[in-house]
Amino acid sequence: MKIKTAHGLVTTVATSLLIASCGGGGGGGGGGGPANQPPTARAGADQLLLAGTRATINGAASSDSDGTISRYRWQQLDGDSVALSASDSAAVNFDTQAITRDQTLRFQLTVTDDDGATATDSVAITVNAAVPVARAGSDRTVLAQSPLQLQGDASSDSGGSISRYSWVQQAGPAVIFSDTTSATPLVSLPSLSSDTELQFALTVEDSYGASDTDTVAITVNLAAPIADAGELQTVGERRSVFLAATASADNGGTISGYQWRQLSGPAVVLSGDDTVEARFVAPSVAGQVASPVALSFELTVTDNLGASDNDITHVSVTNTLIAPIADAGENITVDTTGADSDPVVVTLDGTSSSDPDGTIERYLWTQSGRSLAGIELTDTDQALATVTFSQELTEDVELFFSLAVTDDEDQSDLDTVKVTAMAPPPPVAEYAISGTIKIAPASQLDSDINDSSTTPIANSELLTAQLMPSPAIVGGYVNQPGNGEDGNSFAEGDLYDTYRVTLLAGQSVLLLIGNRSEADLDLWLYSSSGEVVDSSLSYSSNESVVAPADGEYFVEVEAWSGFSNYNLAIGLEQSLPSNGFRLSDAFIPQQLVAEPVAATARAASKLQAQMSALGVSALRGQDQRVQLLQLDDTRSLGGRRAAASRAINASPEQSAKLATLIAAKQLQQSAAVSYAHPNYLREAKAIPNDPRYAQQWHYPLIDLDLAWDITVDTHPTGARVAVIDTGSLPQHPDLLGQFVGGYDFISSAGSSGDGDGIDADPSDPGDGGDSSSSFHGAHVAGTVAAVSNNGLGVTGVAWKTDTKVVPLRVLGEFGGTTYDVVQAIRYAGGLSNDSGTTIAPVDVINLSLGGSGPCATSEQQAFDEVRAAGVLVAVAAGNDSSDAAGFSPANCEGIYTVSAVDATRALAWYSNYGETIELAAPGGDTSRDTDGDGYPDGVLSTLADDSSSMLDYQYTFYQGTSMATPHLAGVLALMKSVNPLLTPAHIDVLIASGAISEDIGTEGKDPQFGWGLINARKAVAAAFEVGGEPPPPLLSVSPRQINLGTSFSQAVLTARNAGSGALEVTDVLSSQDWLTVSAMADEAGLGQYTLTAERDGLAPGSYNATVTFNSSANQRMVEVNMLVVDSDFEPQVGPIYLLLVNDTTDEVVAGQRLSAVEGLYEYRFEEVPEGAYRLIAGSDFDNDQYICDAGEACGRYQTRSNPTVIAVAGGDLNDINFTVEYEVSIAAEAMAAEGSGVARTTTSISPAAVPSEE
């Protein structure tokens, strides 16, 4: 500051003089030190403060270049006096609370150094006693046509004055300000199409720079009021006239003012001309030239915003009298039932009568036409008259009543109303319905169901097991404590139902869960000594087990969680596949395959917690897709009585497998995973023999030589076949150049044979022994694509094209796992996988592997995804000479399962079979030499021998469905080569139509060969021809399976042409004498067929038959199942509830609880009115007050599948008999449908007149 510089100059001069004076007394010498330099005072920067705050001024920045500052002194120069905290400190404080006006306080600092020199400086503190207050005005509504002026002039500053205004718009269409710095600027509005809210902000600032902001919302209202003066009125002279503005409205505000004025006509005196309703007396028009005389009136309405609107109405005054209008009301219908004791009263209403120019003075009601006794008309001179019926009529009649009205000018009018009086309806005849309800013969009952009307008998232990016949269908109920409906077992639970049965080897026990959404039930099979034989465990799925040998067994149903009815089908002849996890399935103990849900942090945390609780850790895989998990211990067995006891009676391996299945169930119940299942073992299904060279008889068997003649490769990149197997032999002379890419997906280093986990090297290292996996994949690959015309070895099916093999290694020294197979399938389909690499989807996948058990969810999901990508999948049916439905992945959907034939085109002795078979192909039989060429009838292909130190490349005969499958894969590659646009949907149609196969079994699809033996020539030709041609004729028969159960003897089939063109059914054959077929079809054999079963003379057991339909196009077969039960066991389903239902209203009109006597329920309903009814009967095992739930017995008259309406008329109905039964399908794909039953509770439920069970 200039002032500080000036002070320093003065001080410096004074100090210099002082030093000179001291030196002057010395006598000429150069004595004395250097002159003292004065200090520098620094009082700090000027400040602006609000009154009430504590201020600090600080001189600590003062300095002395040649010494130190020894003293500070502050003093106030200007402004209201304040008290300094300490005037001799470098920094001092003071309060500004007492300052009530804006002002500047000035303070001076004097500093003194250690030589006594001084310096000064000053600082200004501006105190703002009060900040300004901005006031932008109140929120308000204005009309769009009104000028808009903002109102900020109420802003103030109590301690000073406002020096600046600033307006800005914050919301709404942009406006134009006249001056944004004015306290009250004008605003120009834009063109608006609707009511709009504008928002503005005002900021004010005082002379000291303090500011404040306020906002205002202004609604611009476009809607002016709408005046409505009413319609034209015609009145008589000297009548009072009312002008009403009540229909006027204002959508944007409220009407605040009304004004009426006369525009024309003889002058009248308006009364209430400033109100909503004005009045005047019509003038006399006698002697007027013209009559009527017109008067006009204008209405002006004004709203609260000042907007207004006008309307005009007219009044016509006449000297002609206007008659009133009579209105006798609407016609009336009345029922006179009960009038003899309680008269029926009808009101005649004339209140709607009116008079345009006056008032009605008199009413008169009269009856016209027919007059009857017991009818009285009263109050005839009132607007409301009364007609009283004091007795019932004997017939319906129409009565007419007239109303005459007279007004104040003695004018009148007449109207008539019709009253239709109804006689009581004739009495309704009432009859009885009675009959007998049978129980289906094989039906049996769990002895401790939840129905509270029964007395439970425990059957939860082996010692208390309930004896059951075989075959039988048991209905039962189990629940965890506190789960389900209140009843016998709600509180303590009914965790186990145990049954003692005798089974033959191969017979099945099937558990169908009634309420899969609320329960998880498991099925256990024990030997007669109580040892675990097998189990079927899952999460919300049906279960089945199979007896391995003849004997007595214990079958146990366990409620793992929740509550449910169930049906247990015992002693079925079919070996049914289980939808659950079977203990007898082949899988790696303590390993699981699971897929997490969407990879969120929360989901990952939930999965980790669940896995930790189960003792499970991740081995392989990533968070967002399928993972391989390791079960670290058997803690999942703890806390469950059944699991722990079963582990005691099981081998260590079974205990580990049991722990694995339970962990899979528990993990599957977690919301953290989409699915979880064991890591099933899959193995190559070839049966190798000694190697030797031979002819490839299996190619001419499927017309490959003819196919090669017509094959033209049009594939842009060459077809690619992924062989998911043991790996490749890339240096085999007959496979050189035939492998492209590939990957090793064996995740276990211990079984991989190459010492590591997954990697990019798919070559097969072999295992040096007789393991079934060694070089199996090379044999398969050679069948698909071995090099031809090279003077060496063998030929591949697809050699005529540029087909290549993508080797994907999943089978090691001890087979492979589901997890690794799934990774390879995903890789082949171009999907994300553990390799971290994705490729373009291959054309065909070959899976010559598998194992027992259900189709794993991870496998099915992978197949679904690769099929969607257009990939064709060929899978081996398996070599167990059993139903392929129990062999996976042959039992998966969306694939082509291949059975094997031998050189005679018969089903190979080892080949699996069943409904899952789509096609057959050569698999060979090395035990035979059918053609006498000196070589076994195996499939010859590429192999190697690693028993010595050198790898010896060979050609070897193998047999198996593994060998049959690459024949189909190779033919599919040929088809894709000639027509790359083929899709799985195309192939499906071609297979089902027989276009690519030779039907070598029973005509049509059969369990041995599917749709037939693959024919390469037909397949290549069909691939060329796929286009827009109409489909060929195709016979369809539905349903494909019939279950006659224990009591039904007939069923109906329908045959139709599902394609186009001519088709004729040539014959229909039954495979069993006890089943006959009768036709109700047209000349072509299309229509309905009735199946009739003869049960008499058949021994107890499960019976199966096949009905074969042969046609000019194809063949169809229908499987028929039936149970014949042991008559020594009386059928039982417990108490049932019988409901009589009105067929018109669906109302339950009566109900009974029935108990069986010697297997029969007798019933009788009395006093049933004539009408149409239905009868429904069923049990209520779960005690939910609904009958016929899934798992419960149910019946309808006449049958459950064909309910018949009962017509009650003219007499009692006797022998209305029907059957109650369990609705259980015993076909291979058996499922119990969930569903809601029928409410058993009615207002008329009562015990029937039969003995009670108690």
What residues act catalytically?
725, 776, 962
- Two tokens, residue 577: 């596949």
User: Residue written as tokens 């001084």?
Assistant: 118
Which among 908, 1007, 1005 has a CA at the least distance from the CA of 964?
908
The string of DSSP codes covering 965-994 is: HHHHHHHHHHHHHH-TT--HHHHHHHHHTT
For residue 1198, say if its preceding peptide bond is cis, omega within 30 degrees of 0. yes
CA angle 643, 649, 651 (to 5 degrees): 100
- Cα-only R_g, the chain: 51
The one-letter amino acid at 686: A
Residues 6+ apart with CB under 8 A from 55: 47, 49, 93, 94, 95, 96, 125
Token duo for residue 376:
């009285």
How many Cβ atoms are within 10 Å of 632's Cβ, its own excluded? Answer: 14
The SS3 assignment for 581 reads strand
Distance, CA of 997 to CA of 932 (rounded, Å): 27
CA separation, residue 830 to residues 723, 871, 1133, 1238 (Å): 15, 10, 54, 50
Alpha-carbon span 375 to 396, nearest angstrom: 14
Q: Please give the Cα distance from 545 to 596 (Å, whole number).
A: 30
One-letter amino acid at 803 equals T
User: CA–CA separation, 174 vs 187, rounded Å?
Assistant: 10
* Cβ-proximal residues to 191 (8 Å cutoff; 6+ apart), any chain: none
Whether the Cβ atoms of residue 244 and residue 277 lie closer than 8 Å to each other: yes
Angle at 1248 between CA 1242 and CA 1252, to 5 degrees: 120
How many of the other CB atoms lie within 10 Å of CB of 435?
A: 19
Tokens at 36, concatenated:
């003292």
The letter for the amino acid at 1012 is G
How far, in Å, CA of 140 to CA of 200, rounded? 12
**Residue 1053: which of 1085, 1084, 1087 has the closest Cα?**
1087
Amino acid at the residue 450: N
C-beta separation of 813 from 749 below 8 A: no
Amino acid at 1164: R
* CA pair distance 792, 186, nearest whole angstrom: 102
- The closest alpha carbon to 869, from 825, 902, 930, belongs to 825
811 contacts: CB under 8 Å, gap ≥ 6: 682, 683, 684, 725, 726, 727, 746, 773, 776, 777, 849
**How far lies 196's CA from each of 150, 220, 785, 952, in Å?**
16, 5, 78, 92
Closest CA to 894 of 860, 917, 853: 860
Helical residues (DSSP H) of 1047-1190, grouped into ranges: none
Q: What is d(CA 974, CA 1016) in angstroms, rounded to the nearest whole number?
A: 8
Length reported for the chain: 1254
Strands (E), 440-495: 443-445, 466-467, 472-479
Residue 728: alpha-carbon gap to chain centroid: 44
